Structure 1
Amino acid sequence: MNRIKKIVCLLIVTCMFQVVAHAQKSPLSNGEKLVYTASYKMSGFLTDLAQVSMETSEVKTSSNKLYHFKCRASTFRKYDFFFKIRDVYESYVSTSSLLPALYKRDIQEGSYKKKMKYIYNQKKKIIKSEQIKRRRDGTDWVVNENFNFSNGAMDVISTLYNVRNLPIQNAAVGDSKVFNIIFDKEEIPITVKYAGKSTIDAGNLGKKECHKLQIITNGDFLKSATLWMTADTNKVPVKAEFTIPIGSGMLQLTNASGLAN
């Protein structure tokens, strides 16, 4: 069903934000892995539907060293008969600037399949995109297109790790920041407002003091969202709650390993 597809996509997106201040020690680590349970409110109760994982590694090219960020979203097998999701999002970014060089998206949602690739030209602010879709008869077609992007705009995954790399310890309640996220060749502005601190269950990390962030958008899909991120140098996203026109749900960290600090 479309609602579960949108839920898992939203859960990935709502993990991505924090308010920025000044540069500090990077929380990014080669070998970091974060695992979440994605839940959706059904018949008045939160039901665990899927697992979302995020992994960080380093790769070397002939001229550069890059971070490889990989996010997977999969419905639990008992729900596969209902609507099977096997999505993979990947971003390759410079280890020095954290600007993206390559983005790949491979989604398999029910009978729907789609692949997307962005190659960034950071100097000219042009993205070369390649999109592969599958027809109902099982054949594929390819759409190639170049489009411009604004300074600082990034795909979903590289945005997540860029904002994690910026501190929020100096933010005051009410401070806000606008981010532009590139999704399906469009830029989506998101306003993130700092809402203070609270103690949150952080899976195997135990109870953690976290920054609380409110996510505000004028989009048609997301009505509201709140994100909690650990108030330490790792800045691990541990929980996200959201409301959309067709319901509400939550993303909860279950396991974190390979942290930088």
Structure 2
Amino acid sequence: MQYKLLSIICAVFTSLGVFAQNTTIKSGEKLVYAASYNMSGLMTTLAEVTMETTKVPDKNLFHLNLTASTYTKWDSYFKIRDQYQSYVSTKTLKPVLYYRNIDEGGYTKSEKYVFDYKNKVAKTTVQRRKKPETKKDVAISLQTSDVVATLYQLRNLNISAAKPGTKVTLTILFDGKEIPVIVKYMAKETISTDVFGKKECYKLSISAKTDALKGKDENLLWLTADAKKIPVLIKFSIPVGNGQLKLTKATGI
């Protein structure tokens, strides 16, 4: 279940103009989300997802850190302790290094991607539980990004200039494969948020040719309709149910 939850978050994001000049993201930002899942008809809060941004000392890089953990009372049901990390250019948010370490119900996996855009390749290293480490060079395009970096790249888009119905196709490297994702701008919509109260937002839909996502316009993202474009709500639908991530705390913005 957690794979579905986090992959939904990650599959959701990239940009209309990937690697545009960064004017939004800065060091010290921290966003906290409550992750809920529909269990027997009731939306139940199971986990906390945190996104943090820090500047790498003496480097023109940001360290983007995303973690997901089930609340203690749910650990006996399905314990989750996941971490996704990306090191990106402070100017363009273009990734140079990506790490993924997951522990989901006892299943563990670690991944490392080194992005080489000059040669259009990502050098990947994967270690699964009780299996030997594998290394592989994966061909990528100049626009391919990792799942964490694209979460932040999306926020640099000039969405205010887009018309409802505008679609873009993007590419994310996940599980060692390039995954095409379609993002559609739907409309502006005012919603109630825990952090900002009633807030006007950009509403986007996300679809992909993957088993992780289901339906048309059933996977939705709301970004604040301001200069920061903070993700305040994500709703997703998967073959075994549906859920959401709701922003509960934001600091350093």
TM-score (norm 1): 0.90
Letter matched to residue 135 of structure 2: N
Mark the CA change 1:130 to 1:106 in structure 2 (over 3 Å): closer, same or farther.
Answer: same
Q: Aligned partners of 2:138 and 2:208: how far apart in 1? A: 23
1:246 equivalent in alignment to 2:240: yes
The CA deviation string for residues 194-246 of structure 1, in whole angstroms up to 9 with x for no partner, is 11111122322222100001112232220130110000000000001111111
Kept in 2: contact 1:14–1:240 (CA 8 A): no
Give the secondary-structure state (helix, strand or coil) at the position aligned to 1:211.
Answer: strand
Equivalent of 1:170 in 149, 161, 170: 161
Q: Quote the offset at 1:24 in angstroms.
A: 7.5
Q: Distance in 1 between matches of 2:31 and 2:212?
A: 26
CA shift digits 1:70-117 (9 cap, x unpaired): 000101110000110000000001112321110000101111111100
Q: Provide the aligned length of Structure 1 versus Structure 2.
A: 250
**2:11 and 2:172 in contact (8 A); partners too:** no
The CA distance in 2 between the partners of 1:162 and 1:123, in whole Å, is 20
Moved over 6 A (4+): none
From 34, 39, 50, the counterpart of 1:37: 34
Q: Is the 8 A contact 2:36 2:47 kept in 1?
A: yes
TM value normalised by structure 2? 0.93
Say whether the 8 Å CA contact 2:203–2:223 is kept in structure 1. Answer: yes
How large is the Cα RMSD of the aligned pairs? 1.9
Tell me, yes or no, if the aligned pair for 2:7 and 2:212 is still in contact at 8 Å: no
Matched, 1:192 2:183: yes
SS at match of 2:183: strand
Task: Report the CA distance shift for 1:35/1:227 in structure 2 as closer, same or farther (over 3 A).
Answer: same
**CA displacement, residues 24-60 of structure 1 (integer Å, 9 cap, x when unaligned):** 8711010000000111111111000110010011103
For 2:134 and 2:14, locate their aligned partners in 1 and report how far apart those are by CA, in whole Å: 31
> C-alpha offsets along residues 136-164 of structure 1, whole Å, 9 cap, x if unaligned?
xxxx6211111211120111001111121
Please tell me whether the aligned partners of residues 18 and 168 of structure 1 are also in contact (alpha carbons under 8 angstroms). Answer: no
